[in-house]
Chain A
Amino acid sequence: MKLWLAIGVFVLVAAGVPAAQTIAVPITQFTLPNGLHVILHRDTSVPVVAVNIWYHVGSANERVGRTGFAHLFEHVMFEGSMHVPEGEFDNWLEAAGASNNGSTTEDRTNYYIDAPANALDLALFLESDRMGFLLDDKAPAKIDGQRDVVKNEKRQSVDNQPYGQAFVQLSALLYPPTHPYSWPVIGSMEDLSAASFEDVARFFKTYYVPNNASLVIAGDIDIDKTKATVERWFADVPRGKDVPPLSAPTPVLDGVKKKTITDKVQLPRLYLAWLTPALLKPGDATMDMISNLLTAGKNSRLYRRLVYELQIAQDVNAFQQSQALSSNFLIMATARPGQSLDKIQAVIDEEIDKLAKTPPDAREVTRALNQTEAAFYRRMERVGGFGGKADQLNAYYTATGNPDSFQQDLARYRAVTAAEIQAAVAKYLPKDRRVELSVVPEEKK
Chain B
Amino acid sequence: MKKLIALLVISLGSVVLAQQDRSKPPAVGPAPSLKLPAIQKSKLANGVAVWIVEHHEVPLVQVNLIVRSGSAADPIGKYGVGSLTAAMLDEGAGTRSSLDLADAIDFLGASITTNSSFDASSVRLSSPVSRLSDALPLMADIALRPTFPATELDRLRKERLTSLLQARDNVSALVQLAFPRIVYGPVHRYGTSTNGLPPALESLTLDDLRAFYRAHFRPDNATLLVVGDVTPASVLPLLEKAFGGWKSEGMAPLVAAVPTAPQLTKRQVYLVDKPGAAQSQIRIGWVGVPRSTPDYATLTVLNTILGGSFTSRLNQNLREKNGYTYGASSIFDMRISAGPFLAAAGVQTDKTADALREFFVELNGILDPIPAEELTKAKNNVALGFPGEFETTGDMARKLEELVIYGLPDDTFSSFVPAINRVTGADVQRAAARYVQPDKMAVVVVGDRAAIEANIRGLNLGPVQIVPIDDLFR
Which residues of A approach B to under 8 Å, CB–CB?
Answer: 3, 32-33, 45-48, 82-84, 87-88, 90-92, 94-99, 114, 116-119, 121-122, 125-126, 129, 133, 145-149, 151-153, 155-157, 159-162, 220, 224, 227-229, 231-233, 235-236, 264-267, 296-299, 304, 308, 311, 314, 334, 336-337, 363, 366-367, 370-374, 377-378, 380-384
Q: Is B108 within 8 A of A370, CB to CB? A: yes
From known contacts A98-B385, A367-B103, A381-B391, infer whether A83 and B26 are also in contact, taking CB-CB under 8 Å: no
Residue numbers in B under 8 Å from A45 (CB-CB): 57, 391
Q: Is A46 within 8 A of B391, CB to CB? A: yes
Q: Is A299 within 8 A of B20, CB to CB? A: no
Can you pick out 20 interface pairs between chain A and chain B where the beta carbons lie within 8 Å of each other?
A: A48-B387, A122-B28, A152-B319, A152-B325, A153-B326, A156-B326, A231-B14, A235-B14, A265-B166, A267-B162, A267-B166, A299-B99, A311-B158, A314-B159, A367-B106, A370-B109, A373-B128, A377-B60, A377-B128, A381-B58
A319 to B199, CA, bound (A): 36
Q: Is A48 within 8 A of B391, CB to CB? A: yes
Q: Is B102 within 8 A of A299, CB to CB? A: yes
A159 to B32, CA, bound (A): 44
Which 6 residue pairs across A and B have the least CB separation, nearest first? A97-B384, A148-B323, A47-B32, A370-B109, A374-B109, A162-B169
Residue numbers in A under 8 Å from B6 (CB-CB): 33
Q: 1/0 per residue B309-352: CB within 8 Å of A? A: 11100001001111111110000000000000000001110000
Which of B18, B23, B107, B385 is in CB contact (< 8 Å) with A235?
Answer: B18
Q: Is A336 within 8 A of B20, CB to CB? A: no
Q: Is B31 within 8 A of A378, CB to CB? A: no
The B396-432 residues at the A interface (CB cut-off 8 A) are: none
What is the interface residue range for chain B against chain A? 35 or more
Q: Is A314 within 8 A of B169, CB to CB? A: no
Tell me the minimal C-beta distance from B160 to chain A in angstroms: 10
Is B380 in contact with chain A by the CB < 8 A criterion? yes
The B9-54 residues at the A interface (CB cut-off 8 A) are: 10-11, 13-16, 18-20, 22-23, 25-34
Q: Is B324 within 8 A of A152, CB to CB? A: yes
Number of A-B contacts (CB under 8 A): 240
Residue numbers in A under 8 Å from B394 (CB-CB): 378, 381
Q: Is A149 within 8 A of B326, CB to CB? A: yes
Tell me the minimal C-beta distance from A440 to chain B in angstroms: 13
Q: Is A267 within 8 A of B377, CB to CB? A: no
Q: Is B30 within 8 A of A118, CB to CB? A: yes
A212 to B180, CA, bound (A): 49
Q: Is A116 within 8 A of B387, CB to CB? A: yes
Residue numbers in B under 8 Å from A82 (CB-CB): 22
Residue numbers in A under 8 Å from B103 (CB-CB): 297-299, 367
Tell me the minimal C-beta distance from B35 to chain A in angstroms: 8
Residue numbers in B under 8 Å from A162 (CB-CB): 166, 169-170
Residue numbers in B under 8 Å from A156 (CB-CB): 279, 325-326, 346
Is B383 in contact with chain A by the CB < 8 A criterion? yes
From known contacts A118-B30, A126-B25, A370-B107, infer whether A145 and B385 are also in contact, taking CB-CB under 8 Å: no
Which of A151, A155, A267, A367 is in CB contact (< 8 Å) with B107?
Answer: A367
Which of B309, B348, B385, B387 is in CB contact (< 8 Å) with A155?
Answer: B348
Give the residue name and chain of the B residue nearest to A18 (CB): B130
Is B364 in contact with chain A by the CB < 8 A criterion? no
Residue numbers in B under 8 Å from A152 (CB-CB): 279, 319, 323-326, 346-348
Q: Which has the most chain B C-beta neighbours within 10 Å: A366, A374, A382?
A: A374
Residue numbers in A under 8 Å from B126 (CB-CB): 374, 378
Q: Is B387 within 8 A of A46, CB to CB? A: yes
Is B393 in contact with chain A by the CB < 8 A criterion? yes
Q: Is B309 within 8 A of A94, CB to CB? A: yes
Q: Is A94 within 8 A of B109, CB to CB? A: no
List 19 extra interface pairs beyond A47-B34, A151-B323, CB under 8 A. A96-B28, A96-B380, A97-B384, A121-B26, A122-B26, A125-B22, A133-B22, A145-B321, A148-B324, A152-B279, A156-B325, A265-B166, A298-B103, A314-B163, A367-B107, A370-B108, A370-B109, A378-B392, A381-B394
Give the residue name and chain of the B residue nearest to A239 (CB): B3
Is B143 in contact with chain A by the CB < 8 A criterion? no
Q: Is B13 within 8 A of A228, CB to CB? A: yes
Residue numbers in B under 8 Å from A94 (CB-CB): 309-311, 377, 380-381
Tell me the minimal C-beta distance from B434 to chain A in angstroms: 26
Give the residue name and chain of the B residue nearest to A155 (CB): B278
Q: Is A297 within 8 A of B20, CB to CB? A: no
Tell me the minimal C-beta distance from A232 to chain B in angstroms: 5
A380 to B276, CA, bound (A): 43
Q: Is B155 within 8 A of A116, CB to CB? A: no
Q: Is B279 within 8 A of A116, CB to CB? A: no
From known contacts A48-B391, A97-B385, A152-B326, infer whether A374 and B111 are also in contact, taking CB-CB under 8 Å: yes
Is B390 in contact with chain A by the CB < 8 A criterion? yes
A129 to B24, CA, bound (A): 11
Q: Is B25 within 8 A of A160, CB to CB? A: no
Q: Is A297 within 8 A of B162, CB to CB? A: no
Q: Is B32 within 8 A of A117, CB to CB? A: yes
A46 to B109, CA, bound (A): 26
Residue numbers in B under 8 Å from A83 (CB-CB): 22-23
Tell me the minimal C-beta distance from A433 to chain B in angstroms: 32
Tell me the minimal C-beta distance from A320 to chain B in angstroms: 19
Q: Is A160 within 8 A of B171, CB to CB? A: yes
Q: Is B162 within 8 A of A97, CB to CB? A: no
A311 to B20, CA, bound (A): 65
Q: Is A374 within 8 A of B110, CB to CB? A: yes
A83 to B124, CA, bound (A): 48
Tell me the minimal C-beta distance from A114 to chain B in angstroms: 6
Is B388 in contact with chain A by the CB < 8 A criterion? yes
Q: 1/0 per residue B432-466: CB within 8 Å of A? A: 00000000000000000000000000000000000
Q: Is A363 within 8 A of B388, CB to CB? A: no
Q: Is B32 within 8 A of A220, CB to CB? A: yes
Residue numbers in A under 8 Å from B268 (CB-CB): none
Residue numbers in A under 8 Å from B211 (CB-CB): none
Is B145 in contact with chain A by the CB < 8 A criterion? no
Residue numbers in A under 8 Å from B22 (CB-CB): 82-83, 125, 129, 133
A297 to B90, CA, bound (A): 13
Q: Is A95 within 8 A of B377, CB to CB? A: yes
From known contacts A83-B22, A87-B320, A152-B324, infer whether A366 and B107 are also in contact, taking CB-CB under 8 Å: yes
Q: Is B57 within 8 A of A233, CB to CB? A: no
Residue numbers in A under 8 Å from B261 (CB-CB): none
A384 to B392, CA, bound (A): 11
Residue numbers in A under 8 Å from B106 (CB-CB): 296-297, 299, 367, 370-371
A264 to B14, CA, bound (A): 60
Which of A96, A229, A336 is in CB contact (< 8 Å) with B162?
Answer: A336
A308 to B109, CA, bound (A): 21
From known contacts A47-B387, A96-B380, A156-B326, infer whether A235 and B279 are also in contact, taking CB-CB under 8 Å: no
Q: Is B278 within 8 A of A160, CB to CB? A: yes
Residue numbers in A under 8 Å from B277 (CB-CB): 160
From known contacts A94-B381, A267-B166, A374-B128, infer whether A304 and B99 are also in contact, taking CB-CB under 8 Å: yes
Give the residue name and chain of the B residue nearest to A441 (CB): B169
Residue numbers in A under 8 Å from B392 (CB-CB): 378, 381-382
Q: Is A145 within 8 A of B320, CB to CB? A: yes
Tell me the minimal C-beta distance from A180 to chain B in angstroms: 25
Give the residue name and chain of the A residue nearest to B166 (CB): A266
Residue numbers in B under 8 Å from A336 (CB-CB): 158, 162
Residue numbers in A under 8 Å from B391 (CB-CB): 45-46, 48, 381-383
Q: Is B20 within 8 A of A235, CB to CB? A: yes
Tell me the minimal C-beta distance from A155 to chain B in angstroms: 4
Tell me the minimal C-beta distance from B426 to chain A in angstroms: 21
